[in-house]
């Protein structure tokens, strides 16, 4: 019997080790011990102890230590970019943008945490005037982070940085396609922040993630496909573990009649093809208004012809090539046309850019996440049709609008968590803006103030400053008090 070797980039289990390989060359990138249920439980138990120390440091203590970690990542960023390139095939220059965005989030969340989560007085209101009301947010304890491989630093760090800033310890399960990058982050944390293990990485396949879901952590922050997200939620339901779901997308770009077509084409191309299309908020569908459609397609295809394979990068997960091929074949079978590339562009181990037009709206290439360097472009008669079709998939992660006069109006009508106007994925680089989706793209938010609150729970404290003038929560209440309260209800709240 002949054994077919796994394609380059496919992780391999060897005894108790996970071997990560380069998708470009097949060379071994690293070996990591596989964590089973017992090892995951041990990591979570250790994290529970570390969480007490970490929380006790307070906001200033954590900020200083997160700053040391951030500085170490920044100083050694070239090494990290090389590793990302080696393990996932992402061009090192694109990896640098990922690292830059990550250190910005790490810096912002550490600085911002006290303001958002620290104690603050809130008005006690009319019926409890004797109370001092304090709202503060406490950490959840241990947060489990399950990450994908496509942005192996930025994506998990959107949870890790914010969870740590909020005072939690973290157990991180990187994708089996990017364990070396995940371990690098944990190792640098251990160097920059000596002491208890506040950030640990555990490795393995889906079973390791499943064990983390059942380990009794305070929350699971999951980033990955919608299909796996449902499994994660089901497992977490067994222990009533809360979940944050950052799932897939089918993001749209709308080109309005007054748009800058060169800028829109550039954004569509980068959003669709960068990182070989493996971006959760990458562009997969374009709707261009009729008056500019022909010109837009012309500019887009002309620019696509200038792209080099090095700019596009490689397909990290070899099995994804089958999905890309299926979507293109289905689109062509159903009357679509390839105006750039075609079925022949998908040739293992890579997929080259493909631009499709005239694809029916119910085709897989329009409805399902392709996660490859493909774009569908459709002509729409007006803005209403553009918005209607844009909102026509079960996903709702990010979106892009190119319009000189109606950007905000269109953005507000789109069913998505984030929108970039006259830019591309710009929202991800603004630390103060929450990031997350609706529908099949998930729920909950990383980044921004909401991202900090996501890894905390509200603690409400009402402290009596003096005895109430009218005791209403007491058996000492008199008939006169009851009459007074009845009057208050009618007078204060009875008017329209």
CB-wise, 41 or 133, nearer to ligand NDP? 41
Query: Is 221 an interacting residue with respect to ligand NDP (CB under 6 A)?
Result: no
Q: Which stretch binds ligand NDP (CB under 6 A): 107-115, 123-131, 171-179, 337-345?
A: 171-179
CB-wise, 131 or 225, nearer to ligand NDP? 225
Q: Which stretch binds ligand NDP (CB under 6 A): 19-27, 149-157, 448-456, 463-471?
A: 149-157
Query: Is 44 an interacting residue with respect to ligand NDP (CB under 6 A)?
Result: no
Query: Is 150 an interacting residue with respect to ligand NDP (CB under 6 A)?
Result: yes
Task: Write down the least CB distance from residue 171 to ligand NDP, Å.
Answer: 13
Task: Write down the least CB distance from residue 282 to ligand NDP, Å.
Answer: 8
Q: Which of 175, 200, 275, 301: binder of ligand NDP (CB under 6 A)?
A: 175
Q: Which of 225, 311, 391, 422: binder of ligand NDP (CB under 6 A)?
A: 225
Residue tagged active-site, from 87, 98, 176, 246: 246
Task: Write down the least CB distance from residue 137 to ligand NDP, Å.
Answer: 23
CB-wise, 223 or 456, nearer to ligand NDP? 223
246 catalytic residue (yes or no): yes
280 catalytic residue (yes or no): yes
Query: Is 151 an interacting residue with respect to ligand NDP (CB under 6 A)?
Result: yes
Query: Is 94 an interacting residue with respect to ligand NDP (CB under 6 A)?
Result: no
Q: Which of 22, 77, 88, 155: binder of ligand NDP (CB under 6 A)?
A: 155
Can you give the three-state secondary structure of the chain, one letter per residue?
A: CCCCCCCCCCCEEECCEEEEECCCCCCEEEEEEECCHHHHHHHHHHHHHHHHHHHHCHHHHHHHHHHHHHHHHHHCHHHHHHHHHHHHCCCHHHHHHHHHHHHHHHHHHHHHHHHHHCCEEECCCCCCCCEEEEEEEEECCEEEEECCCCCCCHHHHHHHHHHHHCCCEEEEECCCCCHHHHHHHHHHHHHHCCCCCCEEECECCHHHHHHHHCCCCCEEEEECCHHHHHHHHHHHHCCCCCEEEECCCCEEEEECCCCCHHHHHHHHHHHHHHHHHCCCCCEEEEEEEHHHHHHHHHHHHHHHCCCCHHHHCCCCCCCHHHHHHHHHHHHHHCCCEEEECCHHHEECCEECCEEEECCCCCCHHHHCCCCCCEEEEEEECCHHHHHHHHCCCCCCCCEEEECCCCHHHHHHHCCCCCCEECCCCHHHHCCCCCECCCHHHEECCECHHHHHHHCEEEEEEEEECCCCCCCCCCCCCCHHHHHHHHHHHHHHHCCC
Q: Which of 9, 147, 182, 434: binder of ligand NDP (CB under 6 A)?
A: 147
Q: Which of 146, 261, 357, 378: binder of ligand NDP (CB under 6 A)?
A: 146
Query: Is 21 an interacting residue with respect to ligand NDP (CB under 6 A)?
Result: no
CB-wise, 211 or 332, nearer to ligand NDP? 211
Contacts of ligand NDP in 229-268 (CB under 6 A)? 231-232, 246-249
Active site residues: 246, 280
Residues in contact with ligand NDP by CB under 6 A are 146-151, 155, 173, 175-177, 205-206, 209-210, 213, 223-225, 228, 231-232, 246-249, 280, 369, 371, 397, 437, 442
């Amino acid at each position: 019997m002949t054994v077919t070797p796994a394609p380059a980039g496919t992780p391999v289990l060897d005894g108790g080790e996970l071997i990560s390989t380069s998708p470009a060359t097949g060379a071994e990138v690293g070996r990591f011990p596989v964590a089973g249920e017992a090892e995951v439980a041990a990591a979570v138990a250790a994290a529970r102890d570390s969480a007490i120390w970490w929380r006790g440091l307070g906001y200033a203590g954590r900020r200083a230590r997160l700053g040391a970690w951030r500085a170490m990542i920044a100083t050694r960023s070239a090494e990290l970019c090389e590793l990302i390139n080696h393990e996932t095939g992402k061009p090192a220059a694109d990896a640098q943008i990922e690292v830059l965005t990550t250190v910005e989030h790490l810096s912002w969340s550490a600085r911002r945490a006290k303001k958002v989560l620290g104690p603050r007085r809130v008005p006690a209101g009319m019926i409890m005037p004797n109370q001092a009301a304090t709202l503060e947010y406490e950490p959840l304890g241990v947060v489990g982070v399950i990450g994908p491989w496509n942005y192996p630093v930025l994506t998990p760090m959107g949870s890790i940085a914010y969870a740590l800033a909020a005072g939690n310890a973290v157990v991180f399960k990187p994708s089996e396609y990017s364990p070396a990058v995940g371990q690098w982050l944990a190792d640098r944390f251990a160097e920059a922040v000596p002491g208890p293990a506040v950030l640990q990485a555990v490795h393995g396949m889906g079973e390791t993630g499943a064990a983390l879901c059942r380990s009794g952590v305070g929350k699971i922050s999951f980033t990955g496909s919608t299909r796996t997200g449902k499994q994660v939620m089901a497992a977490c339901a067994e222990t009533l573990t809360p979940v944050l779901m950052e799932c897939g997308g089918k993001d749209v770009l709308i080109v309005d009649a007054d748009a800058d077509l060169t800028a829109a084409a550039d954004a569509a191309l980068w959003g669709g093809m960068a990182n070989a299309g493996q971006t959760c908020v990458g562009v997969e569908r374009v709707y261009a208004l009729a008056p500019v459609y022909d010109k837009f397609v012309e500019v887009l295809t002309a620019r696509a012809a200038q792209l080099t394979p090095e700019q596009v990068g490689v397909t990290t997960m070899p099995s994804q090539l089958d999905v890309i091929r299926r979507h293109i074949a289905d689109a062509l079978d159903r009357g679509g046309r390839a105006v750039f590339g075609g079925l022949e562009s998908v040739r293992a181990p890579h997929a080259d850019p493909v631009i499709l037009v005239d694809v029916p709206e119910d085709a897989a290439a329009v409805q399902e996440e392709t996660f490859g360097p493909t774009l569908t472009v459709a002509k729409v008669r007006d803005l209403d049709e553009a918005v209607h079709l844009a909102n026509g998939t079960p996903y709702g992660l990010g979106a892009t609008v190119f319009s000189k006069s109606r950007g905000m109006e269109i953005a507000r009508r789109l069913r998505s968590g984030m929108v970039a106007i006259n830019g591309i994925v710009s929202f991800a680089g603004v630390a103060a803006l929450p990031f997350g989706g609706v529908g099949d793209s998930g729920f909950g938010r990383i980044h921004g103030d909401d991202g900090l609150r996501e890894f905390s729970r509200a603690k409400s404290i009402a402290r009596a400053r003096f005895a109430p003038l009218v005791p209403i929560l007491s058996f000492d209440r008199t008939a006169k008090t009851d009459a007074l309260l009845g009057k208050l209800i009618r007078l204060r709240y009875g008017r329209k």
